Amino acid sequence: MKNKAVIILLSIMMGLSLTACSGNTTTESISLKNEETMEASDEKTMISKEMDDAYKKEITVKDSQDVIIDTEGTYIISGTSKETCIMVDVEDDEEVNIVLAGLSITNENRPCIFVENAGKVNISVNDESNSLSVTGEFVTVDSTETDGVIFSKDDIEIGGTGTLNIMSTANCITSKDSLIINGGEYILECDGNALEAHDKIEVYEGSIDIERCNDGIHAEDNDDDSAGSVYIVNGDIRINASDDAIHATTTLRIDSGTLKLNAAEGLEATDIQINGGDIDIEASDDGINAANKSSAYKVVFELNDGNVTINMAAGDTDGVDSNGDLYINGGTINITGQSAFDYDGEAVNNGGTIIVNGSQTDTIPNQEFGGMKGGFKRTDMSEDDRMLGPMGVPQGEVPQGEVPQGERPQNKVGGKRQ
């Protein structure tokens, strides 16, 4: 009788304090609280355990029953359910590991995974197949506008060796801080943005297949134009998007990987740097667009290595459109379309291979008010000039205040490259 009273009291407290995951939907809840283990009634299951450094718990989801994680540790979650929300609410310095071990959740209007508060949350996709979906319009709960099947207010990292399928009427994965993808296979379909974060999105490895979305990868903070970067180290990425395949407010850097992008615009950011990889872009607007989206960064497109192929639709479209400077220091760029390049600043070819409509050229032609203006020809440079990089220093040397090529994720205005 005493235990039952404690259960009822804790249930009331959890219902009052952790409503963000529930919205207006009535659900049962599983709370993993650092309390004494108790017997429970069949109507509401309370799971607790004395926590230690290796705390680990296996959970099977059930229909109309939320899982509320309020203790740091590792949680292995499996099963199939409807109207279940896995909510994380721990201290700022605590870390939670969630393992998706053959998990399938379908909700009408709530995130399947909701991170209310944590130091960091790691989601691991194991060797089994997992699926998460939201079929209706997301609700605003506790003044938080939720818009992602996985929705996090803090840093989140997702990896593993398994498969995760996500379908959404808005975003697939949303982070109000940073989002890191480090392994795993992801099949994403949505009406909004497939991957969205305020601070940054980083992809280190994995397979990402995005269909039917607005933007495939989108990093932007509407309140801070110095945030919102995308960094792709490696991976196999395929995106079909109605707007931008990959969009960043500040910097967009690609070091390696295979990217196949079909969208209105393939790559868009203020500072775009490609250091390697095989990138194939089919675009109906600009293939690559370096635009003035951040007041903290210079507008520039820079190709240092890799293979870039751009096929443009007919009309007023550009293969590469830079509202600032354009540097081709290496690699190969192959553009098919009416206008290959459109730039407002300087354009310099320091040794890359440029192919326009099947013909190789040393110039960077400029589409200007319907006319073509030639760029800097390497054949016009002396032998010494050919060895100069875009900053007017010998290739391989670094000007004061700069960092070497391939180590430059940012290019801030008024400060050194970091």
Contact 213, 193 (CB under 8 A): yes
Q: If you ran DSSP here, which 8-state letter would residue 101 be given?
A: E
Return the amino acid letter for 141: V
Check residue 336 and give its pLDDT.
96
For residues 345 and 134, give the distance between their C-alpha atoms in angstroms, rounded to a whole number: 45
What is the per-residue pLDDT for 388? Answer: 35
Residues pairing with 158 in the sheet: 123, 181
- The β-bridge partners of 152 are 115, 175
197 to 75, 157, 216, 240, 365: CA distances (angstroms) = 24, 12, 12, 19, 36
Query: Is residue 282 within a helix (H) or strand (E), and if so which, with residue range?
Result: strand 278-283
Local mean pLDDT, 10-residue blocks, the chain (418 residues): 39 43 56 41 32 73 96 96 96 96 97 96 92 95 86 96 97 97 98 98 98 96 96 98 98 98 98 98 97 97 98 90 98 96 96 96 77 39 36 35 38 33
User: DSSP string covering 139-173, please?
Assistant: PEETTEE--EEEEESS-EEEEESSEEEEEESSEEE
What is the secondary structure of 15-30 as a DSSP string? HHH--TTTTT---EEE
DSSP-derived secondary structure letter, 379: G
| Tokens at 127, concatenated | 């060797």
pLDDT for position 140: 78
Distance from C-alpha of 305 to C-alpha of 276, rounded to nearest angstrom:
5
Q: Under a CB-based contact definition with an 8 Å cutoff, are residues 387 and 394 in contact?
A: yes
Exposure letters 43-56 (e unless 16+ CB within 10 A, then b): ebebebbeeeeebe
The answer to whether 95 and 121 have CB atoms below 8 angstroms apart is: yes
Which residue from 250, 121, 236 is spatially nearest to 174, judged by alpha carbons? Answer: 121
| pLDDT in the model for residue 160 | 95
> What is residue 21's predicted lDDT score, i.e. its pLDDT?
64
β pairing state of 300-303 and 325-328? parallel
Residues 6+ away with beta carbon under 8 Å from 53: none
pTM for this one?
0.82
Compute the distance between CA of residue 24 and CA of residue 5 in angstroms, rounded to an integer: 26
- Phi-psi domain of 124 (left: phi exceeds 0; alpha: psi -120 through 50; beta: other): beta
User: What is the H or E stretch that residue 387 is in?
Assistant: none
Confidence (pLDDT) at 1: 44
Res 67: pLDDT:
96
Name 321's bridge partners: 289, 342
Q: What is the pLDDT of residue 373?
A: 41
pLDDT at 23: 57
| CA 44 – CA 21 distance, rounded (Å) | 17
CA angle 6, 7, 8 (to 5 degrees): 90
